[in-house]
Amino acid sequence: MKFNLHQTDSQSKARAGTVFTDHGEIQTPIFMPVGTSGTVKGVHQRELENDIKPDIILANTYHLYLRPTTKVIESAGGIHKFMNWKSPILTDSGGYQVYSLSANRKIKEEGVKFKSHIDGSFHFFTPESAISIQRKIGADIIMAFDECTPYPCDFQYAKTSMKRTHRWLDRCFIQNEKENCIYDYSQTLFPIVQGSVYKDLRKESAEYISNKNAFGNAIGGLSVGEPAEEMYEMTEVVTDILPEDKPRYLMGVGTPINLLENISLGIDMFDCVMPTRNARNGMIFTANGTMNIKNKKWELDFSSLDSDNYCFVDISYSKSYVRHLFTVNEMLGKQICSIHNLAFYIWLVRESRKHILAGDFIPWKIKMVKQLDQRL
C-alpha cells in the first residue's frame, strides 16, 4: 500500500490524496459504505459499482466470523470473490462489538468473551485471533483489535482501556508479522487511537500509534454519543499529532455535516451506517438538507426524488411514488433511498476533494453546512 498526498488546503487541514492498493486506487477524502455481513443492505454490487461508485467498502469481522464463517470465505478465495466485489475492502476488527454488545461480553487482558447474538454460543476474541480472522477474510485494510469506550466514561476507565488497547496493538503487530499470505495481494494493518474525550489521553494514544509507523492510522471511540463539538475537538488534537504522510480514518462518522467538518480537520476516510440505516426509515440526505419522505407533504409531489441527480434513482422516481412505497411497506422504497443516500455521500466527499484541489474548500464548506442543516 502507498499513499500520495496531493494537496493540503491553505485555510484548513483538509487534504486530497490517493491510497494505492492491489485492488485499486482510493481517492481521498472518501466515504466507505458499510457492508456489515458482506453486503451493503438493500444494494446490489452492480448498483454499488455502476451507480454509487465508492472506491472502497467496509465489512464486519465479528459478523462474518459468525456467519458464513472464515472457512466459507477462505474456501471461496477471500471476501472479494465471495461477494463479487473487485475494489478495495476494509474490515473492522470486532472491537466495536466490545462496545455495542456490552451486555453480552466480558473483557480481560487476554481478550474478550462474546455471547453470540445469533444463538447464544460463546466465543473468545483476542488480538491474535482478530488478526488471523481478518487475514483469512482477506480485506485490503485490516484493523487492530481495540476497546471502544462508551460515552460518558470517567478518566480512569478511559485511561485503563487505552493502555489495554495499546498492549493489544503490540500483540496485533506481532501476530500480523507471523501470518502467512493466503491471497495474491497485500493486506495492511491500521492501528486505532483511543482515549475517549480526554485531550491528554488522545495525545498519548496518538503519539503511541504514530510511533508504530503503520501505513495508515485510525481514530476510534468517537461518534458514540458525545456532542459534535467534542468529537471535532478530539479529532483536531489527534490529527495535529498523526503523521501527515499517512491516511487518517475516522471510524463510524457520520452525518454529512460531520464529514465536512472532519475533512477540514485533516481526516481522509470515513464509514457509517447512517446513510443506509436512515434511508430504511425514510430519511433522505440532499445538498439542501434532509427530508422525511414518509411525510404527507410529499403525497402529491410528482417531482423527481432529487433534481441534482446523484444517481439513476433520483430522476427515475417521484417523491410521491417513493412515499407510497413506504406507506405500503414495499422494500423497494428502502432500496431507492439507500442508493440515493450512498450516492449523495460519495458525491459529497468527491466534491470536497474537487474544492480542496481548487483551493476554495472552506468557503464552499461554510455554504454547504448551512444548506445541509435545513429540514425540507
Residue 22: other Cβ atoms inside 10 A: 13
Instruction: For strands 188-190 and 141-143, give the pairing.
Output: parallel
CA 94 to chain centre: 13
Tell me the per-residue pLDDT of 179-209, one tens digit each, with 9 for 90 and over: 999 999 999 999 999 999 999 999 999 999 9
Active site residue 119: no
**What's the structural domain count of the chain?**
2
What pLDDT is attached to residue 102? 66
- The secondary element (H helix, E strand) that includes residue 8 is strand 2-8
What pLDDT is attached to residue 98? 63
Catalytic member of 146, 268, 271, 306: 271
Both 34 and 124 in a single domain?
yes
User: 185 and 22 in contact (C-beta within 8 Å)?
Assistant: yes
Query: What is the model's pTM?
Result: 0.97
Both 251 and 350 in a single domain?
no
Both 59 and 189 in a single domain?
yes
Bridge partners (DSSP) of residue 57 are: 89
User: 35 and 59 in contact (C-beta within 8 Å)?
Assistant: yes
Active site residue 154: no
Domain containing 30: what range?
2-272
Torsion angle, CA of 227/232/237/239, rounded to 10 degrees? Answer: 140
What pLDDT is attached to residue 106? 86
Q: What's the grid cell of residue 195? A: 482515549
- In CATH, what number is assigned to the domain containing residue 24? 3.20.20.105
d(CA 370, CA 136): 45
Catalytic member of 55, 92, 140, 268: 92
Both 214 and 337 in a single domain?
no
Instruction: For strands 122-125 and 112-115, give the pairing.
Output: antiparallel
What pLDDT is attached to residue 120? 87
Considering 272, 297, 312, which residue would you say is the last residue of a domain?
272
Both 266 and 361 in a single domain?
no
CA angle 147, 153, 159 (to 5 degrees): 60
d(CA 360, CA 258): 19
Both 250 and 168 in a single domain?
yes
d(CA 199, CA 178): 34
Query: For every one of its 376 residues, what pLDDT tens digit does the chain have, with 9 covering 90 and above?
Result: 999 999 999 999 999 999 999 999 999 999 999 999 999 999 999 999 999 999 999 999 999 999 999 999 999 999 999 999 999 999 998 777 666 666 778 889 999 988 888 888 888 999 999 999 999 999 999 999 999 888 999 999 999 999 999 999 999 999 999 999 999 999 999 999 999 999 999 999 999 999 999 999 999 999 999 999 999 999 999 999 999 999 999 999 999 999 999 999 999 999 999 999 999 999 999 999 999 999 999 999 999 999 999 999 999 999 999 999 999 999 999 999 999 999 999 999 999 999 999 999 999 999 999 999 999 9
- Could you tell me which residues come within 8 angstroms of residue 310 by beta carbon, excluding any fewer than 6 positions away? 340, 343, 344, 346, 347
- Could you tell me which residues come within 8 angstroms of residue 58 by beta carbon, excluding any fewer than 6 positions away? 32, 33, 34, 35, 89, 90, 91, 92, 271
Both 191 and 103 in a single domain?
yes
Considering 272, 307, 336, which residue would you say is the last residue of a domain?
272
User: 362 and 278 in contact (C-beta within 8 Å)?
Assistant: no
Considering 225, 254, 272, which residue would you say is the last residue of a domain?
272
Both 296 and 253 in a single domain?
no
Both 376 and 235 in a single domain?
no
